[in-house]
Amino acid sequence: MGVLKFGKISIFVFCFSKKTIPFYTHFPRIFAAVFGAIVKLMKPGKVYSKLIAQLKEEAGQLFLVVDPPNQAPEQAGKIAKIAEKAGANAIAVGGSLGAQGKLLDDTILEMKRSSSLPVILFPGNVATLSEFADAVYFMTMMNSNDPYYISGAQTVASFPIKRMGIEVIPTSYIIVKPGRAVGFMGRAQLIPRNLPYLAAANALAGEYMGSKLVILESGGGAPQPVPKEMISYTKKSIEIPLLIAGGVRTPRFAYDCIFSGADVVQVGSAIESAKSGKEIESRLKKMVSAVRRGAKAKQ
């Protein structure tokens, strides 16, 4: 028997064979054990812990996407207030390349003045970082053909995130057809909509690599979300929360996503197109109601 020590982690290695076996043949198993132990030692932050607690009470949540270039910070603050009143659970900020710098900071500050909802960064690139956010989706685009979106951007952003003290939510980001702008920019090998097991396999691989959240993304402005069969197949394959983004344009779509197994739906375009505060509130209330009905129906 031998002992491998990695900081606070001690791994006991047993040898049951009298034959001499090179150490390197055991390395993949040892690495998997070490990595798994490290992930288990990572304590979830306040935002993620709150999400898990909320899901235990109600098996469906709604996050509102606010993209800073699409409205003034003051308007974003008003939208955040409306979202909290309507029953949204969190606000995801970002989604485009223009969500950065002073505009990003001012947008987040205005929303936090108007609402107590947690603000999660939804980065379009490494510039979408702000010390004023509560958390960040630390995303790996699982089906990208470009190493930059698999580990490069994450490496570049790691030290700035640590200095800012932002809670990190390790996230597997999986792009499904049509993918739209995010699929193009991320050089994604898009998951065909009629092959749900491919999405599930990517999600499961992400969970095994330490992700705490899976996002199935059709792309901002998509005509519809990922198929119900894909949501169900994926959720049955993983033990971490599943979020559906892109194409959740109607209450019916929101209901279908939650009922099919999703834990969270993320809506943006359907709310951005509203012409007034009253219309924003009306649309959000209908979306939240659909999510809650879907949560009750699947229990």
Give residue-wise pLDDT tens across range 31-53.
Answer: 444 545 555 556 789 999 999 99
Q: Hey, what are 165's tokens?
A: 């003290």
Domain ranges within the chain, ordered by starting residue: 2-38, 46-298
Q: Which of 125, 131, 114, 216 is nearest to 167 (CA)?
A: 131
The three-state secondary structure class of 121 is strand
Residue appearing with tokens 């924003």 = 280
Q: How many CB atoms lie within 10 A of CB 4?
A: 12
Tokens of 18: 């009298």
What average pLDDT does this structure show over 172-176? 98
Which range among 88-97, 182-191, 226-235 shows the weakest confidence by mean pLDDT? 88-97
3-state secondary structure of 299: coil
Lowest mean pLDDT among 36-40, 116-120, 150-154: 36-40
| 103-117: pLDDT as tens digits | 999 999 999 999 999
According to the CATH classification, is domain 46-298 in 3.40.50.261?
A: no
Predicted pLDDT of residue 2:
54
Q: What is the pLDDT of residues 265-287, one digit of tens each?
A: 999 999 988 989 999 999 999 99
- pLDDT at residue 14, rounded to an integer: 46
The amino acid occupying position 211 is S
Report the phi/psi class of residue 7: left, alpha or beta, with left for phi > 0 and alpha for psi in -120 to 50: left
pLDDT at 42: 64
> 119, 164 in Cβ contact below 8 A?
no
Which residue type occupies 32? A
What pLDDT score does 17 carry?
46
Element spanning 168, H or E: strand 167-175
Q: Can you give the pLDDT at residue 6?
A: 47
Q: Which two tokens stand for residue 230?
A: 């894909």
Distance CA 69, CA 95 (A): 10
Q: What is the pTM of this model?
A: 0.86
pLDDT digits (tens, 9 = 90+) for 6-33: 455 554 444 444 454 454 455 444 544 4
Examine residue 178 and say whether the peptide bond preceding it is cis (omega within 30 degrees of 0): yes
Check residue 16 and give its pLDDT: 44
